[in-house]
Amino acid sequence: MKKINLVLVIVVLTLLVNGSVNATELRRGFKEYKISPVEDLYLGKQIEKAWKLSYGTEEEPVTIVKKKNLNGTNYIVRSAYFEVNFLAGPNGFGAVPLKRSWCKVHGSITRAVINQEELQRHKVITPNPVDDKKALGFIACYLPELINDNYTHLLK
């Protein structure tokens, strides 16, 4: 009986370790990224700057737009399948849901792609003020963690 329990424990532990290794394997492809400014494009009065973020050569890049309001500086990250807001405000820099009035992607699609628990965990990435360069670096590094495992292919 003790041998059966021991074998069962070993099998369960092996499955758990194997699952966590596979989950981290999904994130390895996001270590290299390229951020390029969008120039010669009329962005409107409220948008100050825009950039394209890409993690590879074949995917459609993600757009990041900088928009200021009373709460601070918003870096809106948008693709055809999700939207998320990174806010640089008085509490520091972190990920927050995008205001409904600013959304272009349907909320149910964004909620399916963006992991809501990770979004809450990344509410404060740093308590320090950030400039554009630091903000874009944080976005490029932390965005893949916000994407649910089934949708990481949207960034590759």
Query: Could you report the per-residue pLDDT of 103-147, keeping only the tens digit for each?
Result: 888 888 888 899 999 999 999 999 999 999 999 999 999 999 999
* Side-chain-facing half-sphere of 84: CA atoms under 13 Å: 27
d(CA 99, CA 76): 10
In the three-class reduction of DSSP (H, G, I as helix; E, B as strand; rest coil), residue 31 is classed as coil
What distance lies between CA 89 and its chain's CA centroid? Answer: 18
pLDDT(31) > 70: no
Q: What is the pLDDT of residue 76?
A: 95
pLDDT(12) > 70: no
pLDDT(77) > 70: yes
